[in-house]
Amino acid sequence: MTKANLRYLVLTALLAALCAIGGLVKIPVSATASAALDSAPALLAAFVLPPIYAGFTGTLGHIATAVSSGMPLGPLHVIIALEMFVIILVFAYLHKKGFDKIKWLWTLVANGVLATLPFYFLISPAFFIAAVPNLLLATAINIVVAWLCAPLLQRVKVEG
């Protein structure tokens, strides 16, 4: 294992732990729902890690948050964890390619709407309709937090 790979693994673990801690921070977004700050550290992973590691940060962060909140969707959290991997992987890829505005829009649409689509069929259309507005708001909050923190990470160099 190279020194760079070890650094990537350590940063992945640290940022996934921050996702879990963020999952404990709840912001009320409606009378029946709250937004957790669990995605922001995964988004920030794109600034300091290669896309594949950033994707794993999102996956591990979601699993930790799901476990700490009692796994309300049971085994369906595996689907969400895989979705988080893809969402953060694409976000990181867009970041590396310089698509600065598109990466944020991708995250809002993918996490706020597309990730909920399987549950339209697996749970019910009513669940989908009820979840989307809350997820859009929660995603927007995480995006703003990550966007505000991102300039601090722009100068971090992990290679070597």
Residue 160 lies in a domain: no
Q: 120: domain range?
A: 3-153
User: Which pLDDT belongs to residue 32?
Assistant: 66
Q: Is residue 159 part of a domain?
A: no
- What local confidence, expressed as pLDDT, does residue 23 receive? 87
Number of domains observed in the structure of the chain: 1
**Could you tell me if residue 40 is inside a domain?**
yes
Whether 44 maps to a domain, the answer reads yes
Quote the DSSP letter at residue 159: -
| 158 within some domain | no
pLDDT at 28: 83
Nearest to 135 by CA among 118, 153, 113, 117: 113
Quote the pTM value.
0.91
88, 57 contact by CB (below 8 A): yes
pLDDT digits (tens, 9 = 90+) for 106-124: 999 999 999 999 999 999 9
Q: Which residues of the chain have pLDDT under 50?
A: none
Here the CATH number for the domain that contains residue 12 is 1.10.1760.20
